[in-house]
Amino acid sequence: MKVDPVLFLQADVSNEYMRQHDLTPQEFIELDKKHNILRFLEIGYEPFHLTGTQGVVEEVEDYIRRREASAT
């Protein structure tokens, strides 16, 4: 069975983000609904898959900060 590399990246980064921010899966789902994190990871897969999990988590954090700043 072949693993979809985009789904693998999304799962890996999501799990690490939840761990670092002490979020439950449900809390992450709510955050994703608000910020479209999984879509962000899908669109950015090409550069992200070479970055490493921690680097991509930092990109997600920056992305969320920018979205929240533009919402105010």
Residue 71 has a pLDDT of 82
Q: How far is 66 from 59, CA to CA, in rounded Å?
A: 11
The full set of domain ranges for the chain reads 5-71
Ranges 11-15, 17-21, 28-32, 68-72: which has the least confidence: 68-72
Could you tell me the pTM of the whole model? 0.91
72 has pLDDT over 80: no
Q: What is the pLDDT of residue 52?
A: 95
DSSP labels, the chain: -PPPHHHHHHHHHHHHHHHHTT--HHHHHHHHHHH-HHHHHHHTHHHHTTT-HHHHHHHHHHHHHHHHHHH-
Give pLDDT tens digits for 17-66.
Answer: 999 999 999 999 999 999 999 999 999 999 998 999 999 999 999 999 99
